[in-house]
Structure 1
Amino acid sequence: MKIKYTFLAFFMLGSTAFAQHKVSHKTAAVTAGKTPADYVDLYIGSINPKTRSTAPVIKAPGGNMNIFPNFTPDMEDFYLADKIYGFPLGFGNLMISKGDFKAGAHENASAFDHDLEPAKPYYYQVLLEDPNINTEYTMTDNAAIFRFTIPANQATNLLLSGNAAVEVMDNKILQGSGASFGRRGGTADKRYFYAEVSKAASTHGDWKDDATAGNGRNRGGAGNYLHWAASPQPQTIEFKVGISNISEQDAKASLDKEIGTSTFEQVKAKLKDRWNAELGLIKIKGGTERQRGIFYSTLYRTRALRMGNVWDTYRSAYALQDLIEPKETEKAINGFVDAYEKTGWLTNSGAMIGNHSTSVIVDAYFKGIRGFDVQKAYEGMRKNHTEGTMIPWKDGGHITELEQCYFDKGFYPALPVDPNANPKPTLDLHDRLPYQVRWTPTLEVKEWVPEVDGWHRRQSVSVTLEHCYDDWCLAQIAKALGKDDDYKLFMKRAHNYQNLYKPAIGLMAPKTADGNWVEPFDPKYSGGFAGEGYFAECNSWVYTWSVQHDIQGLINLMGSRKNFTDKLDELFTTGHSMDKLTFLGQFPDMTGLVGMYPQGNEPAYHIPYLYNYAGQPWKTQAKVRMLMDLWYDITPQGLAGDEDGGATSSWYVFNAMGFYPQCPGRPVFDIGSPIFDETTINVGGGKTFVVEAKGVSAQNKYIQSATLNGVALNKPWMNNSDVVKGGRLVLVMGSRPNKSWGSAPGDAAPSISEATVN
């Protein structure tokens, strides 16, 4: 018998980050037989100092399916949740219960204990305490298998709630389709599925508005269920499901191909092998048990997350992928180009600010990753940069007076100050987040450009800086492709950061369209909530340094290398000048603070490496070690802020290895301070690049000398080509800084500008 019905969304599948818990901080030798996947702890970051925490998601490398528990609603810190409400599958929420069928999420939710919840990249297990059912799952790229162990003499229900149209056949097979939403909702993607249970149910039915509707057709219902009568013996019921974006038949084909007759243990073992191969692309020796756990946990999250949103992933997540999985970057860029051909715009996912898909494409191009239509990609990038909006949180669109000001005058304009406004900041409650206190300077006039979002505002300084960096990236590929006029146009724009440097304060500041400085302006507090009148989630102390492509030019503006490093020192030591609650009430994204430096927010991630450009690389070495030690851990509180698509995790991976891509688009790596005795990176083609840190320890964080492939290296950077062709970087480490290594004026990595100051 076949029955079709539709049910409403209960949980929506969203993009998630990943996390972990309960690992000793004691130094220990590598546990015998412990693999990279065994080191991964999925609960890091599941208690977050800012917003929604990460969830313990498991998936296959490059797979299309991911599963995680749905925890107590409204519990932002997942690790603190006391109940599980099910497991979202992308088209509906799966849950199991005992006894007679009862509709309703709360009626079927179950308590659980983290101590009875093994969670690894290849396997999740939890004892659902209320029905006393041990629940396990593992998966493949497009399919998953659940195993439920049912006590004797206990009736059982398998519930599927969501927004799918479902067909049930022979009390054993379910198929249909439902909508899968992204993290911020928006347009739903249709997800088809085909599922089988290992034992036919006694009955099945559907429900609507928490009322059982029986086995009849039900459009607009809330879900469906399978019911098994009690058995005198314990039962094991398996639920296998395949998914597809094409059809139910394709979902069945995926299930048959990827799982078929394989046992649960075989699927689990295969997924573990796949993750060990993926994580084993980078092998480490030495370090503490804690450091190894953090390293492989962050590497897992970087590789498991989809990087469709390029706002923060361009900084280091894509660079890491370029290094160990360049074909995945090619695939992503082909997706960008495909989006351009279909929509007329090269995707930036409508997130935050900038045209950072340009950075990803250009960085890949200059690293020799060119398996995409370069001319079509250039066409799309150029259109974004010349015809698209620069307004925060917008893609495509059209040119407004704001973009025209950037094109004509070289900066994105801020709103002018209202002459009748009270210049004294006030302590108030935020209108949309009433639990947050904010510092509210009500100085600006009312926004008159209708396209600007009233919540995210203009972010004028950040928009200028992010776009002039992207313009520099585009200029580089324009030159390589022989497009000389474009090269000149975008190189001119690449210097636009200079227009917002305010010598009187030694920091970046906003200007109005007439070219006047916004006054009054406080580099710590101006801009309102999240600073977004002028900045993206931060303040001028953070964004002043967002000139990755021309650090020497910024040094020139500041007057000397000493002035530059003094200002950097001040960044790491200047305080809030108010209580922390009030400061974070205004700037909730500036978590993980060291002075005004926020390790919890990605626009700051390149800043510790800027000492390398001003003759003090030993300070880079000290800062990156401090930040790794302070703000990463194998605990639920092991992240200082958002994961943001793997950006936070990839920062740790690079820094633990001892180098970092300070300026994507320029194929070089700045050298920091590794934490492992030896790191071996599989760069493909049978080649490896090894970073050996002789004598490295918690105290021995300073580079005394270096060689690259046996040749003395006296510069704190290396070319990407040095890495991908294979080789060996040897760093001799010590407990006190060698202030002569890498400190000469000519030792810094390239910038646009030549030095005009000492």
Structure 2
Amino acid sequence: MKRLLFALFLFLSTTVFCQQQADLANPLVGTIKPRFDFFAAASLPYGMVALSPDTHHGDLWNAGYRYNDGYILNFSHIHNTQTAGIPVMPVVGTCKALQGLEASKSTLNHQGEIAKPGYHKILLQDYGITAELTSSQRAGFHRYTFPAAREAHIIMDLTAALGPVQMLRGYASKKSDREIEGYSVMAPTFRRKKNCTVYFVARFSKPFDKINFWKSSADSSVKELVNGDMTDDSKAGVYASYYNLKQGEQILLQVGISFVSMENARMNLDKEIPNWNFDAAVANAKSAWNDYLGRIEVSGGTRRQQVKFYTDLMHTAIGRRISEDVNGAYTDNSGATPVVRYVPLTAKGNPSYHFMDADGLWGSQWNLNILWPMVYPEYGNDLASTFLTYYKNTGTMARTSWGGQECYVMVGDQTVPLLAALLQTHRATFNKEEAFAGAYKNGFPGGIRDRAGYESGPSPKGGGIDWYIKYKYVPFEIRFRGDGFHRGGAAMTLEYAYQDWCIANMAKSLGKNENYDLFMRRSAYWKNIYDASSGYMRPKDTLGNWLTPFEPVGTSTSGGHATPGFIESNSAIYSYYVPQDVKGLIQAMGGQSAFVEKLEESFKSAIPSGFAAEHGEHWAARVDYDNQPGCHLAHLFSHAGEPWKTQYWVRQVKEATFGDTTTTVGYRGDEDQGQMGGLSVLMAVGLFDVQGLADVNPTLEITSPIFDKITFHLPGKKTFVIQTTSPAEKDNTYIQSVMLNGKPLNNFEFPFSAFANGGSIKINLGPQPNKTWGTNILDKGSVRSSN
């Protein structure tokens, strides 16, 4: 009996602790001015459905659920970078659905609001309706508690513009007195060039007293109700009406979605939400989030630090979303007409990987590419497999996937660093030979590096890979070539050189020595745009002349997001974009002392800005943790022989840039697809890798964690534990000593394999730098210095 009681105690203790992770995460952080895809309470990790209120539409940025707005316009089911759909709005009184979303809005009232991963509760003040939301992976679940009302309505405006998306057409039809089905056709956007259709099946817990459909009038100037049980129009919608509701009466609504068909939307709903038990659905969603967040357990630190940690970790699971159905079906919209294809199923009948609706991976080598192999390899492999599926379907490995289409976000081959990280950490589950073939093709004309940002035409020139091969750098004139965006030749040169190094390491691991030599030589092309006279990377034209005049940091006359020759940044930041050869960069910049002095002056100058530029003014910064190109800067001090300065500046950035937990700040800028959340997580646990784990023998770099104990639950039921000790009530910024698996460690980095195999690190922290710790250099053979 004692043994049984003890086991029960352990179970309950574990359950209570696991619940804390989802309870600590706060989806409302940073929601004053979010992206449309930023807020996600009623969703699952990577879920197709992200059910939440919308208070503002019209763009990707500064849209969706904005905490300080005055009104709620609707609740919608899809919040992704370039896809949206299926808005719902419950009201009481006269229905104004035909007048648009604004006519049915309700005052936004945060009193009693609860927003946690998997659940959102909020009051529609003008109607006295309490709305509760949760979801499964592919279906939304609403519970509306009504006041006493002579009439009430649940509106679905199928052609309303949502976030950055306009709708071309909507369709809905009545299937029974509890169910309707339909779809919305999304118009192309600047970034997603083709239509995209989302299908739905909506079920009501209470038979509606009346169902009303609308369409555009004969002259298309207004909307009008239609006779019959369906609508199919450019201005289409439906609302279910209920009469004489009692005080406290509840109506539940379930909405299954699919990007393939209405039949699949019904199948998704039947499989994932088989009953009307709303509370059980909330518990399932919370359990899914606890499983995800609980892979890293932290103790110690302040409550604010714990809240921010699990909020950051939550954000890593909402920037990309699955788009295949429960039977593996997905829509491939990469050709002339959409084609339904299937992800292979496992022996248990589940998709063997998730086909993702995913933004690009520009800069993810300094955040998600590290975190995924560490703790979440299946999610990294889902994304890698998605982009490799494009290679199978189209012949070119993708860098974006929106609505089943490659949309060419940003520049370069951003998938390669992820493939290399998964391969080198032995986490890859994709076909490695196929991955190398796709990466190799993209490294030459005819691959994805032909294309600049969003350059989707049949004859792309803006990527400049042909010039990169011809001149051994991308000339400044690329800005006048092609019709894409982000045509910064110096930035392209640096990014391509790093990506070439990733391909080289893939080749080495796969025994392709000739390919290794080729791409390793190309990885040194950064040297061709380094101007020793100025000490900066500098754009160069096709004749080999330096750009004149040249400014490392822009001025108000620079215009755009970047200085000439760079991408959403400037030379002062991009000059450190040589992760494949940090040692060579340090030498080029005058050696360790000169390198450290120059970099530290940049950090000191960035203190007033909180180490982050205003979004859209990246040209003005010397340090900018609002954007990807400089996310590794604070970690470079370790490579220059002064790891205590990395410890100091990482801690400063973590607090000033990523430490806030209010609705106002949170990330001091654009939390891009969870990348800044991922970086903040790595800073909090004190692990990183400047090279993005893409080396043949990858390592993890150590900085000072902010928690007393961190437990990583790894694949294969292994654990890795970081424990810290520090003087009570004193600053704990600096590492005094480290023990790895019981043995002293005097390197600032250690093999990734030692982490992946499970083990422990004990870190003694203190208020003063120990300038003798971490100065030994880990011998990794000739790979790192081969440039």
TM value normalised by structure 1? 0.85
Task: For residue 524 of structure 1, give the secondary structure of its aligned residue in structure 2.
Answer: coil
Q: 2:702 aligns with which of 671, 683, 689?
A: 671
Kept in 1, the 8 Å contact 2:18–2:294? The answer is no
How far, CA to CA, are the matches of 1:585 and 1:143 in structure 2? Answer: 37
1:98 aligns with 2:92: yes
Partner of 1:342: 393
Question: Which residue is 1:545 aligned to?
Answer: 576
DSSP 3-state at the match of 1:733: strand
User: Would you say 1:326 and 2:384 are equivalent positions?
Assistant: no
**What do the CA deviations read for 1:301-328 (whole angstroms, capped 9, x no partner)?**
1123315421133431132122222122
Shift of 1:160: 0.5
Give the equivalent residue in structure 1 for 2:714: 683
Rounded Cα–Cα distance in structure 2 between residues aligned with 1:232 and 1:626 = 56
Q: Secondary structure at the match of 1:196?
A: strand
Q: Indicate yes or no: 2:747 matched with 1:740.
A: no
Matched, 1:486 2:515: yes
What SS does the aligned partner of 1:645 have? coil
Question: In 1, Cα distance between the equivalents of 2:461 and 2:247?
Answer: 70
Aligned to 2:185: 179
Q: Is the 8 A contact 1:717 1:749 kept in 2?
A: no
User: Contact conserved, 1:180 with 1:188, CA < 8 A, in 2?
Assistant: yes
Shift of 1:34: 5.8
Instruction: Give the superposition deviation at 1:384.
Output: 0.7
Q: Among 239, 247, 250, which residue is 1:225 paired with? A: 239
Which of residues 425, 430, 438 is equivalent to 1:367? 425
- Identify if the C-alpha distance between structure 1 residues 517 and 52 changes in structure 2 by more than 3 Å, giving closer, same or farther: farther
SS of the equivalent of 2:561 reads: helix
Equivalent residues of 2:463, 2:487 under 8 A apart: no
Q: 1:211 aligns with which of 223, 246, 252?
A: 223
1:465 matches 2:502:
no
Q: Tell me, yes or no, if structure 1 residue 411 matches structure 2 residue 473.
A: yes
The DSSP-based 3-state class of the residue aligned with 1:706 is: strand
Aligned-partner SS, 1:112: strand
Q: 1:584 to 1:755 in 2, by over 3 A?
A: same
Alpha-carbon distance, 1:73 to partner: 3.9
Deviations, residues 646-687 of structure 1 (Å, cap 9, x unaligned): 110000111111111221212211111100001000112121
The 1:586–1:461 alpha-carbon spacing in structure 2 relative to 1, beyond 3 Å, is: farther
Q: 1:634 aligns with which of 642, 654, 661?
A: 661
Matched AA of 1:81? D
Change (3 A) 1:750 1:182: farther
Mapping of 1:215-294 within 5 angstroms? Answer: 215-216=227-228, 217-220=230-233, 221-294=235-308
SS of 2:762's equivalent in the other structure is strand
What is the aligned partner in structure 2 of residue 39 from structure 1? 24
Kept after mapping to 1: 8 A contact 2:361/2:414: yes
- The amino acid that maps onto 2:86 is G
Matched, 1:88 2:76: yes
Helix, strand or coil: the match of 2:466? helix
RMSD (CA atoms): 2.8
Residue 480 of structure 1: how far off its partner (Å): 2.0
After superposing the two structures, state which structure 1 stretch, 692-701 or 608-617, moved more: 692-701
C-alpha distance in structure 2 between counterparts of 1:284 and 1:179, whole Å = 44
Q: In 1, are the aligned partners of 2:580 and 2:784 still within 8 Å (CA)?
A: no
CA distance in 2 between counterparts of 1:508 and 1:107 reads: 54
What is the alpha-carbon distance in structure 1 between the residues aligned to residue 450 and residue 41 of structure 2? 34
Gaps of 5+ in 1: 1-30, 417-446
Q: Normalized against structure 2, the TM-score is what?
A: 0.82
- SS at 2:674 equivalent: helix
| Alpha-carbon spacing, 1:73–1:401, altered in 2? closer, same or farther (3 Å) | closer
**What pairs with 1:114-133 in structure 2 (closer than 5 Å)?**
114-133=110-129
Which letter does structure 2 place at the counterpart of 1:317? L
AA paired with 2:703? G
Deviation of 1:262 after TM superposition, in Å, equals 4.5
Structure-to-structure mapping, 1:130-141, within 5 angstroms: 130-141=126-137
List per-residue Cα deviations over 1:236-294 (Å, max 9, x = no partner): 10001212233323322222222212411111111111211211110011010000000
Structure 1 residues 318 and 584, CA, compared in 2 at 3 Å: closer, same or farther? closer
**CA distance in 1: counterparts of 2:463 and 2:631, whole angstroms:** 32
What SS does structure 2 have at the residue aligned with 1:359?
helix
1:710 aligns with 2:748: no
Q: 1:61 aligns with which of 41, 45, 66?
A: 45
Residue 208 of structure 2 is aligned to residue 201 of structure 1: yes
Match of 2:165 in 1: none
2: distance between equivalents of 1:658 and 1:248?
A: 47
Counterpart residue number, 1:624: 650
Deviation at 1:211, TM superposition (A): 3.4
Tell me: higher relative CO, structure 1 or 2? Use CA pairs within 8 A at least 6 residues apart: 1
Distance change >3 Å, CA 548–CA 748, structure 1 → 2: farther
Cα distance per residue 1:210-246 (max 9 Å; x no partner): 5341443543133111111123444210001212233
Using the TM superposition, give the Cα deviation of residue 722 of structure 1 relative to its aligned residue in structure 2, in angstroms.
1.0
Offset from partner CA, 1:49-72 (integer Å, 9 cap, x none): x97793244311242211121113
Residue 351 in structure 1 maps to residue 409 in structure 2? yes
Q: 2:638 aligned with 1:615, yes or no?
A: no
CA distance in structure 1 between the aligned counterparts of 2:615 and 2:429, rounded to whole angstroms:
44
Contact 2:142–2:252 (CA<8 Å) still a contact in 1? yes
SS in 2 for 1:113: strand
- Kept in 1, the 8 Å contact 2:77–2:87? The answer is yes
SS for the counterpart of 1:386 is: coil
Residue identity in the other structure for 1:213: L
Which residues of 2 match residues 329-728 of structure 1 at below 5 A?
329-349=380-400, 350-387=408-445, 388=447, 389-394=449-454, 402-415=464-477, 448-449=480-481, 451-453=482-484, 456=485, 458-525=487-554, 528-531=559-562, 533-574=564-605, 587-589=616-618, 596-632=622-658, 633-636=660-663, 637-664=665-692, 665-666=694-695, 667-695=698-726, 699-728=731-760
Amino acid across the alignment from 1:78: R
Stretch of structure 1 that moved more, 656-665 or 67-76 = 67-76
Q: 1:353 to 1:100 in 2, by over 3 A?
A: same
Provide the rounded CA distance (Å) in 1 between the counterparts of 2:615 and 2:384.
36
- Whole-Å separation in 1 of the counterparts to 2:615 and 2:395: 37
**Amino acid in the other structure paired with 1:127:** L
Does the Cα contact within 8 Å between 2:700 and 2:751 map onto a contact in 1? yes
Partner Cα separation in structure 1 for residue 299 and residue 730 of structure 2: 15
The AA in structure 2 aligned to 1:67 is L
How far apart are residue 630 of structure 1 and its match?
0.7
8 Å CA contact 1:155–1:230 kept in 2: the answer is: yes
SS in structure 1 of the partner of residue 490 of structure 2 = helix
Kindly provide the CA deviation profile for residues 723-751 of structure 1, in whole angstroms up to 9, marking residues without a partner as x: 1100001110000000111124x359888
How many pairs were matched up? 685
Give the deviation of 1:755 after TM superposition: 11
What is the one-letter code of the residue matched to 2:686? G
CA distance in 2, matches of 1:464, 1:648: 24
Question: What is the deviation of 1:193?
Answer: 1.7
The residue aligned with 1:19 is: none
Distance 1:114 1:520, change over 3 A: same
SS of residue in 1 equivalent to 2:297: strand
Report the 3-state secondary structure (helix = DSSP H, G, I; strand = E; otherwise coil) of the residue aligned with 2:143: strand
Q: State the Cα distance separating 1:395 from its structure 2 match.
A: 6.4
